[in-house]
């Protein structure tokens, strides 16, 4: 009886104290010095171009980007922007990139569903016709849309980068369910799956997506060495741009606005001093 | 309002209009010549800042409504279309979203200033109550507005908050059904929230007019809390306070702009960029920062109905505050004991805000003590928020009523001009003509 009570108490203590005392629930997020960080940060067009290629050749097989149009690639601030073509729909590079992709359309003569090469005004096509098809092809998990992924995750670009490069061999004592993959950056609490030392629960969590990036999986046209780290950084730069294509416009507009407001503030301060100089207050 | 009018119509048209609709006279008396205590400090500039923020929210909101689609299938994408394809849509939307936070920051400072200088006391009780009505309307508008982008936090926040109303006996369920427009939060909810989000700001604008009217009858309070005795105590609103408010507004706009241009999403929650999915609940549903103190009070009570009542009680308390404070001295400058309790009150409100953003079972220091009191560990956010909640209510219902009767305040100056003014004039009074009369 007494022994049972002690065991129960110990179990209770372990359940209460366990998660907080142990390391479970934390994740390893690594910071990258992004070119687009800070008030003066800008996207590096070459990097975003490489990132688009990674998205197109790797991610796009499963992940949609429903908010993106091919024309976005050629708009001011976009990776393929060419000042000669103010209208991104005329940009020959963007036209060529779009042409490589087949999109669904309706034949206006017959009403049949047809496929045709995309034009810059087209949306990025989804890899799956609907959520059910996406789930069926991915072990029940629906690959999230990547249009605003960097804004939609706590940690932003650092998190997405850490996730893409965060796949590790699960340490001995960690039980990984079939169809799941261990990742040190994925949020979760691995305590229930951990049979090792209570105070050393491994960081991270499980997700359905397996590791995708391998060396030389994508050949970069500009000769950049195609390491996993390079691919991850480049695709994250692309996704960060896609999450907010007007980001550079925002920052440059902001600089002007701040300078204007600062001058305005100084002028008002001296006006205030002058108006009030004869009033004790 | 400001005694006799100094307006003299100069042209024939002005004279013609003045005998028919004296609107120019009204504007001059209330907005330009209005006698204002000359010792108002920067804490008094937040009224002007709030008026500007309301204007910005209305202007940006009207433009956003031109592009927004209030439908569960299109709302999220239409907001992103504003960010991507509408000319300067990103600017308008970020101004609106961060403007809400700035609006609340300003209103909290405005209220704290009011509490410190005792501006809610006679004869300004109606002015204060109208302010509380505006605050309540602001909270409703902000909550409803946060639902409109139809992200994960929008949807699940709407579910949580509307369910709170359902906890009220008898009236709860019909009100919830009316808010939902059906058996759950869905498209009809979004539709009516959009309609209400467009309506309420104009109701706020109406109450703001009453608020300013109620301000102009007794005139401004001031940091000494002493009534205006003579003309020496006041200066005309323009140019003295237009320029002082203007300077404060510009500083405030710098802060606002730094959020809009450089950290536009830091005050929001990343989950709200995930389209709403009723089948997936976010790990932690947290309201926007300006609701966190009330969220902490709500969660401090183990019973749902009790929590809801206490949360509304916290706001309701503000309405009766003028009759809870028994002290005849307005300003806490002359109430050293009350001032101490006041600063603890401000600190406890911040503690409540902090607790509201944490998980209730999170330990406050280090690891849990293992000592359980009632339903939770003693070293947990829920117990910290209970302590802070008790202080929050004790401040209004116990400390202020008792202290007003027992404390000995410091001597209060005879008039505004009498105490040693902090900024003496640089030139002797009367040495130069008053600037408002010069070009």
Q: CB-based contact (8 Å) between B45 and chain A?
A: no
Does one domain contain both A159 and A210? yes
Residue B336: phi, psi to the nearest 5? -60, -35
As a whole-number percent, the residues of chain B with pLDDT over 70 amount to 94
Answer yes or no: is A80 within a domain. no
Q: What is the reported pLDDT for B371?
A: 81
As a whole-number percent, the residues of chain A with pLDDT over 90 amount to 82
Burial class (CB in 10 A: 0-12, 13-18, 19+), A70: buried
Is A67 close to B434, i.e. CB distance below 8 A?
no
Closest residue of chain A to B246, computed from CA coordinates: A268
Q: What is the reported pLDDT for B437?
A: 46
- Dist CA A42 CA A36 (whole Å): 4
Closest partner CB to B91 (pick from A151, A253, A258): A253
Spatial contact of B245 and B52, defined as CB atoms under 8 Å apart: no
**How close B383 comes to chain A (CA, Å)?**
16
Q: What is the reported pLDDT for B394?
A: 97
**How close A167 comes to chain B (CA, Å)?**
23
What is the arithmetic mean of pLDDT over A124-145?
94
Interface of B with A in 86-115 (CB under 8 A): 90-91, 94
Closest residue of chain B to A270, computed from CA coordinates: B247
Four-CA torsion B100, B105, B111, B114, nearest 10 degrees: -130
Bridge partners, residue A117, by sequence = A102
Does one domain contain both A227 and A259? no
Q: Give B271's contacts in chain A (Cβ within 8 Å).
A: 152
Does one domain contain both A8 and A128? yes
Q: Residue A33 in 3-state DSSP? A: coil
β-pair type (B372-373, B234-236):
unpaired
Closest partner CB to A275 (pick from B240, B270, B425): B240
- Dist CA A252 CA A41 (whole Å): 10
**How close A102 comes to chain B (CA, Å)?**
23
Q: Give A70's contacts in chain B (Cβ within 8 Å).
A: none
Note down the domain range covering A46.
2-68+124-245
- Dist CA B91 CA A254 (whole Å): 10
Closest residue of chain B to A159, computed from CA coordinates: B270
Answer yes or no: is A240 within a domain. yes
Q: Residue A113 in 3-state DSSP? A: strand
Q: What is the reported pLDDT for B218?
A: 94
pLDDT in tens, B160-205: 999 999 999 999 999 999 999 999 999 999 999 999 999 999 999 9
**How close B169 comes to chain A (CA, Å)?**
35
What is the arithmetic mean of pLDDT over B247-269?
97
Answer yes or no: is A37 within a domain. yes
What is the arithmetic mean of pLDDT over B387-404?
97
Q: What is the reported pLDDT for A59?
A: 96
Neighbours of A234 (CB within 10 A): 25
β-pair type (B35-37, A205-207):
unpaired
pTM score: 0.91
Closest partner CB to A244 (pick from B83, B260, B283): B83
What is the value of ipTM here, to two decimals?
0.89
Does one domain contain both A229 and A180? yes
Closest residue of chain A to B224, computed from CA coordinates: A281
Does one domain contain both A132 and A202? yes
Closest residue of chain B to A21, computed from CA coordinates: B367
What is the arithmetic mean of pLDDT over A64-82?
96
Give chain B's count of helices (H) and strands (E). Answer: 15, 4
Instruction: Check whether A10 has a pLDDT greater than 50.
Output: no
Closest partner CB to A246 (pick from B39, B90, B423): B90
Instruction: Check whether A52 has a pLDDT greater than 80.
Output: yes
Six token digits for residue A13 = 């203590």
**How close A72 comes to chain B (CA, Å)?**
9
CB pairs under 8 A between A and B: 123
pLDDT grade for B422, boundaries at 50, 70 and 90: low
**How close A70 comes to chain B (CA, Å)?**
13
What is the arithmetic mean of pLDDT over B149-163?
95
Answer yes or no: is A14 within a domain. yes
Is A281 close to B251, i.e. CB distance below 8 A?
no
Q: What is the reported pLDDT for A200?
A: 87
Closest residue of chain B to A22, computed from CA coordinates: B367
Does one domain contain both A279 and A186? no
As a whole-number percent, the residues of chain A with pLDDT over 70 amount to 91
- The contacts of residue A111 (CB under 8 Å, 6+ apart) are none
Q: What is the reported pLDDT for B312?
A: 94
Q: What is the reported pLDDT for A27?
A: 87
Is A152 close to B261, i.e. CB distance below 8 A?
no
Q: Give B370's contacts in chain A (Cβ within 8 Å).
A: 13, 16-17
Answer yes or no: is A110 within a domain. no
pLDDT in tens, A208-246: 999 999 999 999 999 999 999 999 999 999 999 999 999
Interface of B with A in 220-259 (CB under 8 A): 235, 239-240, 243-244, 246-247, 250-251, 253-254, 257-258
pLDDT grade for B346, boundaries at 50, 70 and 90: very high
Answer yes or no: is A219 within a domain. yes
pLDDT grade for B417, boundaries at 50, 70 and 90: confident
What is the arithmetic mean of pLDDT over A70-79?
96
Closest partner CB to A20 (pick from B84, B274, B363): B363
pLDDT grade for A99, boundaries at 50, 70 and 90: very high
User: Between residues B317 and B359, which one has the greater pLDDT?
Assistant: B317
Instruction: Check whether B377 has a pLDDT greater than 60.
Output: yes
Instruction: Check whether A3 has a pLDDT greater than 60.
Output: no
Closest partner CB to B254 (pick from A66, A265, A275): A265
**How close A112 comes to chain B (CA, Å)?**
26
| Residue listed under structure tokens 């604008």 | B205
Answer yes or no: is A9 within a domain. yes
Does one domain contain both A217 and A277? no
Does one domain contain both A163 and A234? yes
Q: What is the reported pLDDT for B4?
A: 67
Spatial contact of B351 and B388, defined as CB atoms under 8 Å apart: yes
pLDDT grade for A87, boundaries at 50, 70 and 90: very high
Q: Give A273's contacts in chain B (Cβ within 8 Å).
A: none
Closest partner CB to B235 (pick from A67, A244, A279): A279
Does one domain contain both A21 and A51? yes
Please state, rounded to an integer, the average pLDDT across all residues of chain A: 90
Does one domain contain both A238 and A265? no
Please state, rounded to an integer, the average pLDDT across all residues of chain B: 92
Which range among A171-175, B51-55, B255-259, B416-420 shows the weakest confidence by mean pLDDT?
B416-420
Does one domain contain both A268 and A130? no
Instruction: Check whether A158 has a pLDDT greater than 70.
Output: yes
Which range among A50-59, A130-139, B106-115, B361-370 shows the weakest confidence by mean pLDDT?
B361-370
What is the arithmetic mean of pLDDT over A68-96?
95
Q: What is the reported pLDDT for A268?
A: 97
Is A279 close to B425, i.e. CB distance below 8 A?
yes
Instruction: Check whether B367 has a pLDDT greater than 90.
Output: no
Does one domain contain both A220 and A186? yes
What is the arithmetic mean of pLDDT over A191-202?
88
pLDDT grade for B360, boundaries at 50, 70 and 90: confident
Answer yes or no: is A97 within a domain. no
Neighbours of B16 (CB within 10 A): 10
Q: Residue B150 in 3-state DSSP? A: coil
Closest partner CB to A275 (pick from B260, B270, B435): B435
Instruction: Check whether A177 has a pLDDT greater than 50.
Output: yes
Closest residue of chain A to B428, computed from CA coordinates: A278
Closest partner CB to B423 (pick from A257, A264, A281): A281
Question: Which CATH number covers residue A148?
Answer: 1.10.760.10
The domain tally of chain A equals 2
Four-CA torsion B32, B34, B36, B38, nearest 10 degrees: 50
Q: What is the per-residue burial (b if ≥16 Cβ within 10 Å, else e) of B135-162?
A: bbbbbebbbbbbbbbbbbbbbbbbbbbb
C-alpha distances in angstroms, B328 versus B98, B223, B295, B335? 39, 15, 34, 10
């Amino acid at each position: 009886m007494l022994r049972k009570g002690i065991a129960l108490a110990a179990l209770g203590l372990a359940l209460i104290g366990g998660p907080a005392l142990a390391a479970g629930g934390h994740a390893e997020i690594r910071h990258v010095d992004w070119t687009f960080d800070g008030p003066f940060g800008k996207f590096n067009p070459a990097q975003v171009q490489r990132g688009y290629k990674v998205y197109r050749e790797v991610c796009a097989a499963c992940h949609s980007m429903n908010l993106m149009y091919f024309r976005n690639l050629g708009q001011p601030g976009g990776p393929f922007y060419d000042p000669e073509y103010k209208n991104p729909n005329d940009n020959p590079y963007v036209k060529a990139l779009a042409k490589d992709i087949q999109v669904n359309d309706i034949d206006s003569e017959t009403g049949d569903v047809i496929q045709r090469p995309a034009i810059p005004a087209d949306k990025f096509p989804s890899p799956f016709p609907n959520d059910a098809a996406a789930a069926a092809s991915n072990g029940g998990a629906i690959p999230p849309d990547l249009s605003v992924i960097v804004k939609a995750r706590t940690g932003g670009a650092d998190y997405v980068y850490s996730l893409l490069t965060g796949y590790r061999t699960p340490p001995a004592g960690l039980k990984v369910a079939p169809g799941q993959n261990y990742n040190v950056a994925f949020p979760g609490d691995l305590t229930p799956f951990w049979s090792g030392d209570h105070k050393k629960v491994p960081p991270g969590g499980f997700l359905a997506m397996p590791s995708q990036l391998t060396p030389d999986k994508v050949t970069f046209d500009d000769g950049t060495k195609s390491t996993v780290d390079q691919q991850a950084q480049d695709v994250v730069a692309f996704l960060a741009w896609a999450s907010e294509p007007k980001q550079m416009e925002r920052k440059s507009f902001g600089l002007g606005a701040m300078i204007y407001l600062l001058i305005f503030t100084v002028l008002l301060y001296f006006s205030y001093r002058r108006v009030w100089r004869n009033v004790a207050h | 309002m400001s005694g006799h009018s100094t307006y003299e119509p100069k042209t024939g048209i002005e004279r013609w209009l003045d005998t028919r609709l004296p609107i120019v006279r009204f504007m001059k008396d209330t907005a330009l010549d209005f006698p204002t205590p000359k010792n108002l400090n920067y804490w008094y500039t937040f009224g002007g800042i709030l008026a500007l923020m309301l204007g910005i929210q209305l202007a940006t909101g009207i433009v956003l409504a031109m592009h927004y689609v209030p439908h569960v299938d299109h709302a999220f994408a239409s907001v992103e279309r504003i960010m991507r394809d509408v000319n300067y849509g990103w600017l308008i939307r970020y101004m609106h979203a961060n403007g809400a936070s700035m609006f609340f920051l300003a209103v909290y400072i405005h209220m704290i200033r009011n509490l410190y200088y005792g501006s809610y006391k006679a004869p300004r009780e109606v002015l204060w109550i109208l302010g509380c009505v505006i605050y309540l309307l602001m909270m409703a508008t902000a909550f409803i507005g946060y639902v409109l982008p139809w992200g994960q936090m929008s949807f699940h926040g709407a579910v949580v908050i509307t369910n709170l109303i359902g906890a009220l006996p008898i009236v709860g369920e019909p009100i919830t059904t009316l808010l939902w427009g059906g058996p759950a939060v869905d498209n009809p909810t979004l539709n009516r929230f959009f309609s209400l989000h467009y309506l309420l700001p104009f109701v706020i604008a109406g109450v703001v007019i009453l608020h300013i009217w109620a301000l102009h009858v007794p005139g401004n309070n001031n940091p000494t809390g002493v009534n205006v005795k003579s003309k020496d105590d006041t200066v005309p609103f323009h140019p003295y306070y237009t320029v002082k408010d203007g300077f404060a507004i510009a500083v405030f706009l710098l802060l606002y702009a730094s959020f809009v241009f450089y950290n536009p999403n830091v005050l929001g929650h990343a989950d709200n960029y995930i389209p709403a999915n009723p089948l997936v609940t976010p790990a932690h549903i947290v309201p926007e920062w300006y609701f966190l103190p009330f969220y902490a009070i709500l969660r401090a009570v183990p019973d749902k109905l009790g929590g809801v009542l206490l949360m509304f009680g916290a706001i309701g308390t503000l309405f009766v505050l003028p009759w809870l404070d028994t002290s005849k001295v307005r300003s806490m400058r002359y109430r050293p004991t009350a001032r101490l309790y006041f600063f603890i009150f401000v600190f406890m409100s911040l503690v409540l805000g902090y607790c509201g953003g944490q998980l209730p079972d999170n330990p406050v220091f280090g690891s849990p003590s293992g000592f359980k009191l009632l339903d939770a560990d003693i070293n947990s956010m829920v117990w910290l928020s209970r302590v802070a909640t008790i202080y929050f209510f004790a401040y209004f219902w116990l400390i202020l009523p008792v202290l007003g009767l027992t404390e000995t305040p410091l001597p209060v100056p005879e008039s505004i001009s009498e105490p040693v003014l902090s900024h003496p004039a640089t030139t002797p009074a009367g040495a130069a003509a008053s600037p408002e009369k010069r070009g």
